[in-house]
Chain A
Amino acid sequence: MDICKKYKDLILTNYIDGEMDTEMKQQIDSHLLVCPNCRRFAEEVNHFLVVPFKNALRENVPEHLWLSVKKNIEKENRLNEKAGNLIHRLMESLSFPVLAPVVGSFVLLILVGSLIFYNQQMKQGKEKEQGEYLVYLLGATEGSPETENNVPETPIEKYFL
């Protein structure tokens, strides 16, 4: 790689930004003393690309900016406060001293009612099942009219049975 090209790349970055170790800087400085082309390049870079930005004026912040920022923050705080108040009121209305006993009693009533209803259903179901089973047992011991009809009548039935 051409030595001038290598140095020009470094001049464009680390050299003019002062981000270079002493040894390397000395090498480039020595090169600049003997190479007018690279020296001109370094001067141009510094004059046109570094100094204008370094000397740029710092602008004063417009006065009205803080007022706008403050206004936005206060507006948002008010909205948050309103939303917070609404939630707070909702929570308060549901709080213990006022509605809790009523809500509690209602929930308890529903629980007890559903428990009683469930027990009754279970009881009825069991009784029905037991009755059906008794009928089945009685039928089995007494014999059903169907058994009498099982006597073979046709010649084929007689042959097979």
Chain B
Amino acid sequence: MQDISDDVLIKASQGDLKSFEELYKASAGFVYNVALRIVNNREDAEEVTQEIFFIIYHKLRGFRFESSFKTWIYRITVNYSINFARKTSITRNKTIEYEDTSIAGTVVGDVQKGIDKEHREKVIEDLLNIINPDQRACIVLRNMEGLSYEQIAQTLKININTVRTRLKRAREKLLRGKKAGGLWTFVKNTKI
């Protein structure tokens, strides 16, 4: 996420739309990508991103400059995305079952055609579908956004040991997915 000056933040918090646009441009990439990985669906990620910026616009008036703006925006993004993903998890689980069985047959053939962006994205999407939204948030913040355990704990307002436990369980679950067959074969063959 790009740095945002205090001046822009103050003006945006006073309702200045031009400054808010600057703030949006500096943070939209982060918000959209984190939301996309946690809700794991493009349409949902767009909806979530819009909602998050609407929330930020309102909450900015009460933002205390004591805490880091980056941590604040991380927290809003992750919490909103987790809640959204939880709400839609029932539908999502049904989709996973369908995808797990379909991958084994189709993907190996695809690998022979070459690895492209779409396949790589499919791997990430299917891996993230195996774990729950809380675990997804930890994996995304650690492996994709490069946050330390301490920063993840601060963002999610949880204990550092909880961060470790969530990461461990998520990875164990992903390893168990190895035995599920298709998906793992695909990950192995894609040599990411």
Q: Contact string, B118-131, partner A, CB cutoff 8 A, digits 1/0?
A: 00110110010000
User: Is the CB–CB distance between A48 and B24 below 8 Å?
Assistant: no
**SS class of chain B's interface: helix, strand, loop or mixed?**
helix
From residue 56 to 104 of chain A, which have CB atoms closer than 8 A to chain B?
56-62, 65-66, 68-70, 72-74, 77
Q: How far is the CB of B181 from chain A (nearest CB, A)?
A: 14
Q: Contact string, A111-125, partner B, CB cutoff 8 A, digits 1/0?
A: 000000000000000
Q: How far is the CA of A68 from the CA of B53 in the complex (A)?
A: 10
CB-CB < 8 A to B21: which residues of A?
66, 70
Q: How far is the CA of A82 from the CA of B188 in the complex (A)?
A: 60
Among the 9-residue stretches B68-76, B82-90, B106-114, B168-176, the one with 4 or more Cβ atoms under 8 Å from chain A is B168-176
Q: How far is the CB of B60 from chain A (nearest CB, A)?
A: 11
User: Is the CB–CB distance between B143 and A50 below 8 Å?
Assistant: yes
CB of B49 within 8 A of chain A?
yes
Q: How far is the CA of A135 from the CA of B159 in the complex (A)?
A: 90
How many residues in B have their beta carbons less than 8 Å from beta carbons of A? 43
Q: Contact string, B14-51, partner A, CB cutoff 8 A, digits 1/0?
A: 01010011001100110011001100000000100110
Given A48-B188, A53-B124, answer yes or no on A61-B168 (Cβ-Cβ < 8 Å). no
Q: When the two chains form the complex, which single residue of A14, A19, A45, A48 contacts B184, counting CB atoms closer than 8 Å?
A: A48
CB-CB < 8 A to B49: which residues of A?
61, 65
CB-CB < 8 A to B140: which residues of A?
53
Q: Contact string, A11-49, partner B, CB cutoff 8 A, digits 1/0?
A: 011100101000000000000000000000000110011
CB-CB < 8 A to A74: which residues of B?
17
CB of B9 within 8 A of chain A?
no
User: Is the CB–CB distance between A62 and B121 below 8 Å?
Assistant: no
CB-CB < 8 A to A60: which residues of B?
29
CB-CB < 8 A to B142: which residues of A?
17
CB-CB < 8 A to A147: which residues of B?
none
Closest 10 CB pairs of A and B: A53-B143, A61-B32, A61-B28, A69-B53, A52-B192, A56-B124, A13-B168, A12-B171, A49-B171, A13-B164
21 example contacts (A-B, Cβ-Cβ < 8 A) are as follows: A12-B172, A17-B167, A45-B171, A52-B123, A52-B127, A52-B192, A53-B124, A53-B139, A53-B143, A53-B144, A55-B192, A56-B37, A56-B120, A56-B121, A58-B29, A61-B32, A61-B49, A62-B46, A66-B28, A69-B57, A72-B50
